[in-house]
Structure 1
Amino acid sequence: MDTQKVAAEYRMSQWAQIIQARVDSGQSIKDFCQAEGISRNAYFYWLKKLRESACTELVKKEGARSMSPSWVQLASGPMQQATEALKIEINGCHITVTAETDHSLLAKVCHTLRSL
């Protein structure tokens, strides 16, 4: 392993610790950088570098597995039929009629409504 690569990995490790310390502290980035004497630009630069490195590693790991698109059959439960309903409101009374509503009950309700 060449020295430049080792040095780069060491810096990444150091900045990973710094960024984790900021997260653990609960401070804002501005306050943390000010307290630690770190440039905000440097903080964001290394944060970007760490994210890029993490994404590259993830792609390498995922690349080992097949990343070809595939279809997955989803298990389906029993189909539920959409219930359409007729909703009526008269003088604050709400009536909802569906296909399952008993016809004799509906007739009685209509008779009662006519008498109002």
Structure 2
Amino acid sequence: MAKMTHMKKQENQKSHFNHISHKEALVLTKIQQIKHQKSMDYWKQLVIAQQQSGFSVTEYCRQQDIKYNAFYYWLRKIREEALESLPQLPEKSTTNPQVAVLSATTVTAAVQTQSSSLKLFCGPVSLEVNEQTSNEMLMQTLRCIKEVFGIC
């Protein structure tokens, strides 16, 4: 029996995947999604552990025998996923910028309004909320923090 070359094996694998049904493709996609989510969960826990350890990423990775590049790869993926889950803010028009002239009384009022804000500290995350913060934005931000850091 002749040995199959590497190229021949690849051709056989490609032709096999060309013949899978739509249902089988969906199952593969679902499996890939599950694997991805498991990896995300694992790396989220590592990121939280690193942040709570007080060590730099370099030192933490060395102590835990984690590849530095892998840590930052997954940190980027976690951040990207978190950003995708946030609501899209309306784009500001740059063609007609508006300039506001503030009097001394307006500035004082603005400072007083700012002082009535609420600051939340939850693990490595701090969040400042004021009256202008919408409930929807606050809820989505808290969900994102919970998903990324597993807290709040």
TM-score by length of 2: 0.41
Partner of 1:102: none
Deviation at 1:76, TM superposition (A): 6.3
Q: Which of the numbers 41, 48, 51 marks the counterpart of 2:79?
A: 51
Deviation at 1:6, TM superposition (A): 1.0
Matches of residues 28-107 of structure 1 in structure 2 within 5 Å?
28-58=56-86, 61-62=87-88, 67=90, 69=92, 78=105
1:5 aligns with 2:33: yes
Distance 1:78 1:39 in 2: 56
Aligned sequence identity (%): 31
| Larger relative contact order (CA 8 Å, sep ≥ 6) | 2
RMSD of aligned residue pairs (Cα, Å): 2.8
Counterpart code for 1:43: F
Aligned to 1:27, what secondary structure does the other structure show?
A: coil
Q: Which runs of 5+ in 2 are unaligned?
A: 1-28, 107-152
Q: Aligned pair in 2 of structure 1 residues 76, 10: CA closer, same or farther (>3 Å)? A: farther
Q: Aligned pair in 2 of structure 1 residues 69, 4: CA closer, same or farther (>3 Å)? A: same
Q: Aligned pair in 2 of structure 1 residues 23, 78: CA closer, same or farther (>3 Å)? A: closer
Moved over 6 A (4+): none
Deviation at 1:62, TM superposition (A): 3.5
Deviation at 1:30, TM superposition (A): 1.0
Counterpart code for 1:6: I
1:22-78: CA deviation from partner (whole Å, max 9, x where unpaired): 0000001111001101000100100111111111111xx347xxx36598x9x9664
Partner of 2:115: none
Aligned residues between the structures: 74
Which has more radius of gyration? Answer: 1
Partner of 2:134: none
Q: Which runs of 5+ in 1 are unaligned?
A: 80-116
Q: Which of the numbers 42, 45, 70 marks the counterpart of 1:17?
A: 45
Q: Aligned pair in 2 of structure 1 residues 35, 68: CA closer, same or farther (>3 Å)? A: closer
